[in-house]
């Protein structure tokens, strides 16, 4: 085991039966959950607020009413933007062999939402109990068909591209061109473009767009105005930001804000 893995906490469930465990948390804006590892799969759902889950491979910025699927044994940390009301399901490995193997942001349709809330209410699902067994079967069917959605920001492995990515993560509003940024990275524009395509699955322009939208989503959840968020994220105009936001999230920022402010957290 590496020194990095030894330095993080490992979540181990209590030794009692059950294929699914659940937990309910409410966090203030700005709260950070330190790097940790779960021995079970994890489905993390928030009815309000924005969660940013980070691993060595990248970051996932999760809007309200969506969830993130985190496979077992992936070291991750979580940061809250806005007050977050989190509902988490832990799913024992081995309960099914066809569950997603990669981290992903997913839509939470009404049926899955009700299953999550019911599992939280019960505390756990035990396949030996008939009523639980039916809920568990439907829950697993829902998880198998989860559709990826939201802002994913993979991190390149190459040191030069990673240095550039870290620089922009610190200042998402930096509007310099890739040619200007490349001068300090130690690589040419063409090399950086090739690395981003190969190691993130995105062009540099698409990656940068994801970064800006993720930053904007966090700032909106924390209470920022649309105008201030748009300019801070590096958009040339508010209309350009609204257009990009609508394409990604299916609604303009103002509607997103109203939904966030009026949404009530589910009872635990």
Percent of the chain with pLDDT over 70: 89
Walk me through the domains of the chain, giving residue ranges and CATH numbers. Answer: 3-149 (2.60.120.280), 156-262 (1.10.10.60)
Mean pLDDT of 102-119: 91
- How do 76-91 and 20-27 pair as beta strands? antiparallel
Segment 32-82, tens digit of pLDDT: 999 999 999 999 998 888 999 999 889 999 888 889 999 999 999 999 999
State the sign of the Cα–Cα–Cα–Cα dihedral 122, 49, 27, 16.
positive
Please tell me whether the overall predicted TM-score, pTM, comes out greater than 0.85 for this model.
no
Residue 148's CB is within 10 A of a number of other CB atoms, namely 13
Q: What is the pLDDT of residue 111?
A: 93
Q: What is the pLDDT of residue 258?
A: 65
Segment 202-260, tens digit of pLDDT: 999 999 999 999 999 999 988 899 999 999 999 989 999 999 999 888 888 877 766 55
Task: Flag whether pLDDT at 14 surpasses 70.
Answer: no
Nearest to 242 by CA among 223, 222, 257: 257
| d(C-alpha 267, C-alpha 117), whole Å | 8
């Amino acid at each position: 085991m590496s020194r990095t893995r030894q330095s993080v906490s490992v979540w181990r469930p209590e030794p009692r039966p059950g294929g699914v465990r659940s937990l309910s948390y409410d966090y203030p804006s700005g709260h950070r959950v330190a790097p940790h590892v779960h021995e079970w799969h994890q489905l993390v759902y928030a009815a309000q607020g924005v969660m940013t889950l980070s691993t060595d491979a990248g970051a996932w910025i999760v809007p309200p009413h969506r969830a993130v699927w985190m496979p077992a044994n992936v070291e991750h940390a979580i940061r809250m933007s806005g007050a977050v009301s989190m509902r988490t399901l832990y799913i024992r490995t081995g309960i099914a062999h066809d569950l997603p193997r990669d981290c992903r942001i997913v839509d939470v349709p009404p049926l899955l939402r009700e299953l999550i809330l019911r599992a939280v209410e019960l505390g756990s699902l035990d396949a030996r109990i008939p009523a639980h067994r039916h809920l568990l079967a439907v829950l697993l069917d829902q998880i198998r068909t989860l559709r990826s959605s939201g802002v994913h920001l993979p991190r390149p492995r190459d040191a030069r591209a990673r240095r550039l990515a870290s620089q922009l993560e610190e200042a998402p509003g930096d509007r310099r061109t890739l040619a200007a940024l490349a001068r300090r990275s130690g690589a040419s524009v063409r090399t950086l473009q090739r690395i981003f395509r190969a190691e993130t699955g995105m062009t540099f322009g698409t990656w940068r767009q994801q970064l800006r939208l993720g930053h904007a989503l966090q700032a909106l959840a924390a209470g920022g105005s649309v105008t201030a968020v748009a300019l801070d994220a590096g958009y040339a105009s508010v209309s350009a930001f609204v257009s990009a936001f609508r394409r990604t999230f299916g609604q303009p920022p103002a509607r997103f804000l109203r939904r966030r402010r009026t949404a009530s957290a589910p009872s635990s």
